[in-house]
Amino acid sequence: MDPKNLEKQRKPEEPRYLTFRHLPDGTKRDGKLALNKFSSTLTNGHDFPGAQAMLYAAGVPDKQTMKTSPHVGIASVWWEGNPCNMHLLDLGKEIKANVQKDGMLAWQYNTIGVSDGITMGGEGMRFSLQTREIIADSIETVTCAQHHDACIAIPGCDKNMPGVIMAFARHNRPSIMVYGGSIKPGYSDTLRKPINISTCYESHGAYIYKTLQSQKEGEFTPDQIMEDIERKACPGAGACGGMYTANTMSTSIEAMGLSLPNSSTTPAESPTKMRECARAASAIRVCMERDITPRKLLTKASFENALVIMMALGGSTNAVLHMLAMAGTAGVPLSLDDFQRVSDKIPFLADLAPSGKYLVADLFDIGGMPSVMKFLVAAGLLNGDIPTVTGKTLAENIEGFPSLPQDQTIIRPLNNPIKKTGHIEILRGNLAPDGAVAKITGKEGLTFTGKAIVFDKEHQLDAALNEGRIPRGENLVLVVRYEGPKGGPGMPEQLKASAALMGAKLTNVALITDGRYSGASHGFIVGHICPEAAVGGPVAVVRNGDTITIDAERNRIDMDVSQEEVQRRLEEWTPPSRTVTRGVLAKYAALVGDASHGAMTDLF
């Protein structure tokens, strides 16, 4: 059955996840909600003596604690080898210590991750998007199997944030997200300016096209410059520092009320991040005492807030994919049309990388997300009345924070935006009947027409760029297909190609794909083309030399080919053989839905 039809059959207001319809006796104690209502299934009485024996062995100190203390899962997406995630175990230990100080039992565990920065441009990137589902599966599994009463999750890299929120929506027990925080900016001695991970990819494009040079021409060789950038772009722990996918998701989730104030913009290595971890213990107790559960916070109003923040701050196209999946998991109706509606009314205000010059660490220095939200609430653009994990409204949370400084230059005033409307544009047309997502800041113009050069895989385009085969001059639309959720499989990010184009200053080129882009991508780019090529979408039959027009003013993406010719080509088209037939990617390709519905595997 077509996954789209399955998606239409789902009743969004009735997510079908395991629930405990028959809670044990004692869910209320002295007229108050018992905080151990799930764990007491195992710990009250003697129905599960083996479970109690195991829990004593794991560290429960005495009978009183066994019978009355709630169990809080501390789920970190920790693993070594990636700066976004390598410090999360320590953050989890700080949270655990404070949960225990507050008289609760804390059980620390972690789930898997993939480094987008390390896998970018390689075959490993195909495994990235499906980690979102594995993270959600892991946290749901441990929470429900172990009868945890609450969950505090600590994500770091891109897919981590939506993964933990999807898990929250599934198990629907009191939960808080503590973001691992973003990395400090690096500094290049050869370029004599601040740098970050995006610099690596864009400099590679300049290196290939022999345009990479130091500030003082001839002072350093291109190889010396590249080595300097590679060594210094990531100076410590934390997620990529611009308004890339990780920070897009963390700021959006804070605006939805699922994390503590300023969680999203507090740097990873700041003492303030450790203080946030300490506060999480008392906050999760408030959530349990007041029965503040995720699906009470994941509402259409809170998703509206997320979309406002995404547009105002210039967030990643990946957020479209992840918001749709989060909403679908929570049973909240959200569609591509909602993104366009919000984009049409919210100005793009933030001079943040990748299209701007500042990083999230700079935003923290002027007050962080609470100050930004205070500005947007006062302007009537953000809803301050939504409930949050603190037990207070969003407006109450940010009331004590300072307003944005008058002399700051990161967030533009409403009367002088970078762009009067949002940078995310939802396009449809004969090339993308079911939608596509464009990231158009206006700096590159609002329309583009060029001749197609078609690549059936990302590596083909990367090879062409490495060999300098993409010419300057005539307007070109580079088409990368068979990289969608099923066709990839895994819908890999294509930052390597988009950054190379920017670094080489190939301004005559637009890039479109049924795959997706990194949050660090910018330029005239369109992704998430639906239907994807692998299932017979029109993008499968684009030919070299076809004229393609991208029009953000009319929200269209079309090839100058008649519908009759498109249909004739499709009738002659033969689906390619599956590139992966076994293992986790084959399983993912079999289950995943289309990008216009969030590339969800949870369709049944």
From the centroid of its chain, how far is CA 55?
35
| Per-residue CA distances from 491 to 232, 363, 365, 537, 578 (Å) | 29, 31, 35, 15, 14
Q: List, in order, residues 6 or more apart from 371 with CB less than 8 Å away.
A: 398, 401, 402, 403, 404
Helices first, then strands: H and E counts in the chain: 23, 16
Mean pLDDT to the nearest integer, 471-492? 95
What is the pLDDT at residue 603? 62
Same domain, 205 and 114: no
Same domain, 295 and 163: yes
Cβ atoms 129, 163 nearer than 8 A: no
Same domain, 343 and 448: no
Same domain, 168 and 246: yes
Q: Is residue 58 part of a domain?
A: no
What is the pLDDT at residue 28? 56
Q: Is residue 432 part of a domain?
A: yes
Q: Is residue 51 part of a domain?
A: no
Same domain, 226 and 244: no
Amino acid at the residue 199: T
Same domain, 173 and 192: no
The number of folded domains in the chain is: 3
Which pair of tokens denotes residue 469? 């085969």
Of 212-226, 293-307, 331-345, minimum mean pLDDT range? 212-226
Q: Is residue 41 part of a domain?
A: no
Q: Is residue 93 part of a domain?
A: yes
What is the pLDDT at residue 445? 84
Q: How many residues does the chain have?
A: 604
Residue tagged 């809803």 (tokens): 383
What is the pLDDT at residue 458? 93
pLDDT tens digit string along 543-574?
A: 999 999 999 999 999 999 999 999 999 999 99
What is the pLDDT at residue 10? 42
* Boundary residue ending a domain (173, 206, 232): 232
pLDDT tens digit string along 381-401?
A: 999 999 999 999 999 999 999
What is the pLDDT at residue 205? 83
Domain containing 203 equals 186-232
| Per-residue CA distances from 566 to 374, 573, 592 (Å) | 50, 10, 26
Interatomic CA distance for residues 591 and 546, integer angstroms: 33
Same domain, 359 and 212: no
**Residue 16 — very low, low, confident or very high, per pLDDT cuts 50/70/90?**
low
Interatomic CA distance for residues 518 and 284, integer angstroms: 33
- State the burial class of residue 337 (Cβ atoms within 10 Å of its Cβ: 0-12, 13-18, 19+): exposed
Question: What sign for the dihedral angle of Cα 437, 442, 445, 446?
Answer: positive
Cβ atoms 536, 573 nearer than 8 A: yes
pLDDT tens digit string along 495-535?
A: 888 888 888 888 899 999 999 988 667 778 999 999 999 99
CATH of the domain at 394: 3.40.50.2300
pLDDT score of 47 more than 90: yes
Same domain, 447 and 524: yes
Same domain, 178 and 191: no
CATH of the domain at 429: 3.50.30.80
What is the pLDDT at residue 498? 83
Same domain, 434 and 341: no
Active site residues: 518
pLDDT tens digit string along 402-427?
A: 999 999 999 999 999 999 999 999 99
Q: Is residue 64 part of a domain?
A: no
What is the pLDDT at residue 506? 87
Helices (H), 427-513: 458-466, 495-503
Quote the DSSP letter at residue 578.
Answer: P
What is the pLDDT at residue 32? 62
Mean of the per-residue pLDDT values for the chain? 93
Of 307-311, 325-329, 433-437, 468-472, minimum mean pLDDT range? 468-472
**Residue 3 — very low, low, confident or very high, per pLDDT cuts 50/70/90?**
very low
Same domain, 264 and 351: yes
Q: Is residue 484 part of a domain?
A: yes
Q: Is residue 259 part of a domain?
A: yes
**Residue 34 — very low, low, confident or very high, per pLDDT cuts 50/70/90?**
confident
What pTM, to 2 d.p., does this model score? 0.94
Interatomic CA distance for residues 87 and 84, integer angstroms: 8
Q: List, in order, residues 6 or more apart from 567 with CB less than 8 Å away.
A: none
Same domain, 244 and 328: yes
Cβ atoms 19, 2 nearer than 8 A: no
